[in-house]
Chain A
């Protein structure tokens, strides 16, 4: 059990310090060095959790106003899409499952965008844009024998448009990533 807690603490710390802006990297190294001196797994986990949170705050503090606005906009849009998709109740079971899955993807991307910023948004948008474009091409290429082919085609087209916009927002977030140069 303690080895699992230690492992989780180590992963959390690594993920957290990875978020630090370049001018705070030495502080990330300081957190790692300190972590190695904490013997008790629970204390190590508490320490790593705090460092994770501190890293997010530092990352946010180093973002420009435009980047923060873009991030907020992306998160609100994703949360809204997750909500709208989750409450839609298509009668056809496979379609309902697809809507549920999409709602999870939107919600998950919103959380990851908050935690990991533009990297997560760009990765998710690239994957989803590729998937929806592939689905759309497959649906217009021929009859796949699907009951709701028209709906799926419209959904794929809509997803392509949504994820293309989110890709643009992610690119804008990444542009001029941090505004505070220097070291400690």
Chain B
């Protein structure tokens, strides 16, 4: 059976991180540190999620001492619903497997 898009293990790690503080804008390095992903994995993932309307991105004003703006990210409503459903489904499956074991 083909895997659902945006449901890889790496994507799930990212959803966990973004759902911890869903209203906050998060920057790339913060997400790298929280998820443990490499930048070579994180950025393509962010791009795909943004392409499909699951993630919104914008440039934030620099916070001193930083001088340059940063690109920041958070889940859209659609992305929030998708990520919550995906993680709940995965959680339910794990619980069912634990009951069977």
A binding-site residues for B, Cβ under 8 Å: 24, 26-27, 29-31, 33-34, 36-38, 46-54, 57-58, 184
Contact = CB atoms under 8 A, between A and B. Distances in A.
Contacts of B43: 27, 30-31, 50-51, 54
Contact of B28 (A30, A46, A58): A30
A46 B39 contact: yes
Interface string B12-33: 0000000000000001110010
B57 interface: yes
Given A27-B47, A30-B28, A54-B44, A36 B68 contact: yes
B39 A184 contact: no
A86 B37 CA distance: 40
Given A24-B47, A37-B29, A47-B32, A30 B57 contact: yes
Contacts of B44: 54, 57-58
B47 A37 contact: no
B46 to A, nearest CB: 8
A54 B43 CA distance: 7
A50 B40 contact: yes
Binding site of A, secondary structure by majority: helix, strand, loop or mixed?
helix
Interface residues of B, number: 22
Given A24-B47, A184-B51, A184-B57, A34 B40 contact: no
Contacts of B38: 46, 50
Contacts of B77: none
Nearest to A43: B29
A63 B16 CA distance: 32
B45 to A, nearest CB: 9
A37 B33 CA distance: 13
Contacts of A184: 47, 50-51, 57
A33 B71 contact: yes
A47 B39 contact: yes
Nearest to A184: B50
B98 interface: no
B36 interface: no
